[in-house]
Amino acid sequence: MENHEIQTVLMNALPLEEVYVSGDGSHFQVIAVGDMFAEMSRVKKQQAVYAPLMEFIADNRIHAVSIKTYTPSEWERDRKLNGF
């Protein structure tokens, strides 16, 4: 799978403001930014992002994914730490 395909899937499935995806074809890193994460536990945040990707994980188009989630204010504060 391509990085932009994962980005499109997540943007279409979730009310996100920004999504950044990097990876090498089967191992990906996702940074998801949206207000939806404000009241969620860490586990719920991960589950929310995994859910639209499960089909691609199940058929091995995605082998591994690392997820970081932020609210817009958290992202504004931390984006420089992430190189953005």
Q: Where are the domains of the chain?
A: 1-9+21-70
Least confident of 40-49, 53-62, 74-83: 74-83
Least confident among 15-19, 43-47, 50-54, 75-79: 75-79
CA-wise closest residue to 67 among 19, 21, 31: 31
pLDDT for the residue numbered 4: 96
Q: What is the pLDDT of residue 83?
A: 79
1-9+21-70: CATH number: 3.30.300.90
- The confidence score (pLDDT) of residue 70 equals 97
Mean pLDDT lowest among 38-47, 61-70, 72-81: 72-81
CA distance 84 to 75: 10
